[in-house]
A and B are shown apart, each in its own frame.
Chain A
Amino acid sequence: MRLACLALLLSVAASLALAFELEESRSYPGTGPGHLRILSTADVDVFEPIIHAFQARHAVSITYDVASSAQVMIALYDEGAEYDLAISSAMDLQTKLANDGLAQTYSSDATALLPPWAKWRDQIFAFTQEPAVLVLNAAAFEALAVPTNREGLIALLRDHPEAFDGRIGTYDVRVSGAGYLFATQDSRNTESFWRMTEVMGRLNTQLFCCSSDMIDAVASGRLLLAYNVLGSYARARLADTPGVLVVEMDDFVSVMLRTALIPQTAKAPEAAGLMIDFLANMRLRPELVAQTGLPPVVSASGEDKGVIRPIRLGPGLLVFLDRMRRDTFLRSWVSSIKQD
């Protein structure tokens, strides 16, 4: 099941003209003129309510293409694919797009109301804040103490190697942009990151491309524990997925911002701007928040408050995109997580 998402990836009919790979593409014809093309890392199911709500107000047609954050980067950075809006949870890659001049500047009343940490250069706009959480199989943890921090997690894994061997999941950071972002932020935030990775490596940790797969695996009991899962996905699944526990660590919680930007190649930047305004005002639509499970940006929550560590937009994110730094990081990570 390692790299399970690759199968899904290949199953999607990608446009032949494009070298980058789409996971899914869906069209939502509108009643009016205009065509907004979105390239996004968010699943169609998650984003569809937003599209419908947006079209109820603006009659444009929308094409919604889903790709991994790495493919989004390839599409926009290397191939100059023509999209009007890029939505990604990979803040570092979005930052690189903006830094390297591939994003358009946009400002409106709605973006002006965004807290300063939720936007960068008026080019990247955050509309969700999603914590990385620990997802546990409830049944398995009836007998075990639920870990509340990373030291606790390491101790738990060390104490019960037989129980957890092969039943731990985390992002394959080589494939998943969000996973890489979380991992690098972990490495910055705690000394125990590498120890934990080594412990997880000794226990034959399974690697995943996507949060939803990990949640599925935990729910089914194939995994007892999944680390650094997108909390929004996990919470969204709690209702229809019994037997899953979601734990926010109390040493620190990385909070990722899902961001949108208008690529330089955009053909319909006005429509894209309308969508950005719509996303920036999501907090005013509780029903949409409930439908998507995406926690909207709220001004106060972006501040550093003890354990909550929002990932900051800005040039710092470029550091782990440095090819040598990434190379070093991945080599260390691979050697830790794979100890065959």
Chain B
Amino acid sequence: MSRAGPPVSIRRRLVVQLALVAALLSVAFFFSLRVVAEGATEATQDNILAASATSIADAVYTDAGVVRVEIPYSALSMLGTVSEDRVFYRVIVNGETLTGYDDLPVPEGRRSRNQPLFATYGYRDDTFRAVVVSRALSVANQPRRVQVVVAQTRLGLAAISSRITTTATAIGVAFFLTATALSTLAAQNALSPLSRLAEAVARRGPKDLRPVTAETPTELAPLVGGLNGFIARLSAALTRSEDLIVEAAHRVRTPLATVRTQAEVMHLQMEKPHNRQALRQMIRAVDESSRSAGQLLDHAMVTLRSDQLETEEIDPGDLLRDAISRLSPTADLKDIAITLDLPQEALRVQGDPILLQNAVRNILDNAIKYSPADTEITVRLVPGPPCRLQVCDQGRGFAAEDIARLPDRFSRGTNVDDVIGSGLGLTIVRDVAQAHGGALEIGANPEGGGACVSLVLPSY
């Protein structure tokens, strides 16, 4: 099963990749500088060693058939000019040590004739760079082979090498830091149009479906184009469905209103009980279908808005006052008295006012609908937090077995078949509550036979 990894930041990826490249370049630079510089210093040492050995070899002479050597002062002093390295030498004639250090090893290996041969070896607990220079000598017509070995420790080389390493490291690190800083800037710069675009889109309200006009680089043009195309299609689809809903509602509701009104008029004129009964059934059917349609539409709207809450600060007391003023004419028709019980202190909730109003109205509407005539409904704001917007009635209440499933879609109480209802009212309330991080609570009214329904909202 494939799983999406954690979200990846383009900027971070860009910076990391550029930094990696910079690091790679730094390291490559470091090593190449070291190789070149150390090669150069080693070559310098080799050259001096060869010059030293050659000048010694040149100082080999024969005196009355005896091979002698008078080592020039400069031959060894030149080795001490740059560094304080230890110096060893050995002059060999036909394998016999003429002078110098008997135990000094002779560099070995293939070489072209009369060319100095170099070697690096350990000697007297130290690492030495050594050279051997050969020279032919004729003594009493006998050919003699003279070898001059000069060896020097690599202290000076090591010092130079460490200086080079320090310099190379410093330059490499400086290069890396500069390159990384620059690549961070570059990435930021390159991605700033993207951030601007994201900001421009994120800043929009849920209903802002204008095309994106932020200035974007050519690379983002397809994205912006695609986005705008999508927005246009979405906008068209939304407009279409909104128009459709409105149109449908209008088309259906207006004839229904006609039918209902006509039925009412006829009902008033009818005398025979069975005719009146038929008309009443007709009116109730109209009411039922219109109410269902209304709640279905409301539910759809609530679902739509819940995805993109347009929250603002609301006084929950206002919500209750508002719902009461809207519904008290309906309650009056049944001589139902509504009392409002608000706390002293002002409360605030954060929410979508239209959704919350709808939810509160649904609760109160339910209470009025299921309350008998001449009863009381108490609307109460219980300060929290979380605060409770509570509506208690003296109606028939809920059957205990219904409470858990009531907020489900199209689920109605088992004891309310005689009342018109779609079963969506409490579903809407619950959805609104959940969209606001709250809950719907249903319980029995402790001060009477009825029910208490509460919309619980986080408050401060």
Binding site for B on A (CB under 8 A): 98-101, 120-121, 188, 312, 314-316, 318-320, 322-325, 328
Given A319-B73, A324-B70, A328-B70: A314 and B84 interface contact (C-beta under 8 Å) = yes
Find out whether the CB atom of B86 lies under 8 angstroms from the CB atom of A99: yes
Q: Check: B420 CB closer than 8 A to any chain A CB.
A: no
Which single member of A121, A188, A319, A324 contacts B68 (CB below 8 Å)? Answer: A324
B-side contacts of A101, CB under 8 Å:
86, 124-126
Which single member of B72, B88, B124, B125 contacts A319 (CB below 8 Å)? Answer: B72
Given A325-B70, A325-B71, A328-B70: A316 and B77 interface contact (C-beta under 8 Å) = yes
Residue with the highest number of chain A CB atoms closer than 10 Å, among B69, B80, B99, B124 = B80
Find out whether the CB atom of A316 lies under 8 angstroms from the CB atom of B80: yes
Find out whether the CB atom of B84 lies under 8 angstroms from the CB atom of A121: yes
* Bound CA–CA A121/B153 (angstroms): 12
**How far, in Å, is B66 (CB) from chain A's closest CB?**
10
**How far, in Å, is A240 (CB) from chain B's closest CB?**
39
Residue with the highest number of chain A CB atoms closer than 10 Å, among B73, B81, B98, B124 = B73
Find out whether the CB atom of B69 lies under 8 angstroms from the CB atom of A319: no
Find out whether the CB atom of A99 lies under 8 angstroms from the CB atom of B75: no
Q: Check: B452 CB closer than 8 A to any chain A CB.
A: no
* Bound CA–CA A314/B52 (angstroms): 15
Q: Check: B76 CB closer than 8 A to any chain A CB.
A: yes
Find out whether the CB atom of A100 lies under 8 angstroms from the CB atom of B99: no
B-side contacts of A316, CB under 8 Å:
73-74, 76-77, 80
Find out whether the CB atom of A322 lies under 8 angstroms from the CB atom of B99: yes
B-side contacts of A325, CB under 8 Å:
69-71, 99
Find out whether the CB atom of A322 lies under 8 angstroms from the CB atom of B86: no
List 9 A-B pairs, Cβ < 8 Å.
A99-B86, A101-B86, A121-B155, A312-B77, A312-B80, A319-B71, A322-B99, A324-B70, A328-B70
**How far, in Å, is A292 (CB) from chain B's closest CB?**
28
Counting from the closest, the 10 A-B pairs by CB-CB distance are A316-B77, A314-B80, A315-B87, A324-B99, A315-B76, A315-B80, A121-B84, A99-B86, A319-B73, A315-B79
* Bound CA–CA A208/B358 (angstroms): 127
Given A316-B73, A318-B76, A319-B76: A324 and B84 interface contact (C-beta under 8 Å) = no
**How far, in Å, is A108 (CB) from chain B's closest CB?**
17
**How far, in Å, is A44 (CB) from chain B's closest CB?**
32
Find out whether the CB atom of A188 lies under 8 angstroms from the CB atom of B73: yes
A-side contacts of B72, CB under 8 Å:
319
Interface class of chain B by DSSP: mixed
Taking CB atoms and an 8 Å cut-off, the chain B residues in 97-156 that contact chain A are: 98-100, 124-126, 155
Taking CB atoms and an 8 Å cut-off, the chain B residues in 50-96 that contact chain A are: 68-77, 79-81, 84-88, 91
Residue with the highest number of chain B CB atoms closer than 10 Å, among A98, A323, A325 = A325
Find out whether the CB atom of B84 lies under 8 angstroms from the CB atom of A322: no
**How far, in Å, is A64 (CB) from chain B's closest CB?**
29
**How far, in Å, is A101 (CB) from chain B's closest CB?**
5
* Bound CA–CA A266/B79 (angstroms): 29
A-side contacts of B87, CB under 8 Å:
99, 315, 318
Find out whether the CB atom of B76 lies under 8 angstroms from the CB atom of A100: no
Find out whether the CB atom of A314 lies under 8 angstroms from the CB atom of B99: no
A-side contacts of B86, CB under 8 Å:
98-101, 121, 315
Find out whether the CB atom of A322 lies under 8 angstroms from the CB atom of B124: no
Given A101-B124, A315-B87: A323 and B99 interface contact (C-beta under 8 Å) = yes
Residue with the highest number of chain B CB atoms closer than 10 Å, among A312, A315, A320, A328 = A315
**How far, in Å, is B50 (CB) from chain A's closest CB?**
16
* Bound CA–CA A101/B101 (angstroms): 13
A-side contacts of B76, CB under 8 Å:
315-316, 318-319
**How far, in Å, is A331 (CB) from chain B's closest CB?**
11
**How far, in Å, is B67 (CB) from chain A's closest CB?**
10
Which residue of chain A lies nearest to B87 when distances are taken between CB atoms in the complex?
A315
Find out whether the CB atom of B70 lies under 8 angstroms from the CB atom of A314: no
B-side contacts of A312, CB under 8 Å:
77, 80
Task: Please name 15 further chain A to chain B contacts, defined as beta carbons within 8 Å, in addition to the given A314-B80, A324-B91, A325-B70, sorted by A numbering.
Answer: A99-B87, A101-B86, A101-B124, A101-B125, A101-B126, A121-B86, A121-B155, A312-B80, A314-B77, A315-B80, A324-B68, A324-B69, A325-B69, A325-B71, A328-B68
* Bound CA–CA A100/B89 (angstroms): 11
A-side contacts of B155, CB under 8 Å:
121
* Bound CA–CA A120/B99 (angstroms): 25
B-side contacts of A318, CB under 8 Å:
76, 87
A-side contacts of B124, CB under 8 Å:
100-101
B-side contacts of A322, CB under 8 Å:
71, 99-100
B-side contacts of A120, CB under 8 Å:
84
**How far, in Å, is A114 (CB) from chain B's closest CB?**
13
* Bound CA–CA A86/B86 (angstroms): 19
B-side contacts of A314, CB under 8 Å:
77, 80-81, 84
**How far, in Å, is B443 (CB) from chain A's closest CB?**
89
A-side contacts of B99, CB under 8 Å:
322-325
* Bound CA–CA A312/B80 (angstroms): 10
**How far, in Å, is A123 (CB) from chain B's closest CB?**
9
Which residue of chain A lies nearest to B81 when distances are taken between CB atoms in the complex?
A314
**How far, in Å, is A2 (CB) from chain B's closest CB?**
28
Which residue of chain A lies nearest to B68 when distances are taken between CB atoms in the complex?
A324
**How far, in Å, is B47 (CB) from chain A's closest CB?**
16
A-side contacts of B84, CB under 8 Å:
120-121, 314
**How far, in Å, is B88 (CB) from chain A's closest CB?**
8
B-side contacts of A98, CB under 8 Å:
86
Which residue of chain B lies nearest to A314 when distances are taken between CB atoms in the complex?
B80
* Bound CA–CA A314/B91 (angstroms): 20
**How far, in Å, is B110 (CB) from chain A's closest CB?**
30
Which single member of A100, A319, A323, A328 contacts B75 (CB below 8 Å)? Answer: A319
A-side contacts of B80, CB under 8 Å:
312, 314-316
A-side contacts of B126, CB under 8 Å:
101
* Bound CA–CA A318/B91 (angstroms): 14
**How far, in Å, is B55 (CB) from chain A's closest CB?**
11
* Bound CA–CA A312/B77 (angstroms): 9
* Bound CA–CA A312/B79 (angstroms): 13
* Bound CA–CA A215/B1 (angstroms): 104
* Bound CA–CA A121/B85 (angstroms): 7
**How far, in Å, is B267 (CB) from chain A's closest CB?**
119
* Bound CA–CA A320/B76 (angstroms): 10
A-side contacts of B69, CB under 8 Å:
324-325
A-side contacts of B125, CB under 8 Å:
101
Residue with the highest number of chain A CB atoms closer than 10 Å, among B72, B86, B155 = B86
Find out whether the CB atom of B70 lies under 8 angstroms from the CB atom of A315: no
**How far, in Å, is A36 (CB) from chain B's closest CB?**
26
Which residue of chain A lies nearest to B73 when distances are taken between CB atoms in the complex?
A319
* Bound CA–CA A120/B85 (angstroms): 9
B-side contacts of A324, CB under 8 Å:
68-71, 91, 98-99
* Bound CA–CA A328/B73 (angstroms): 14
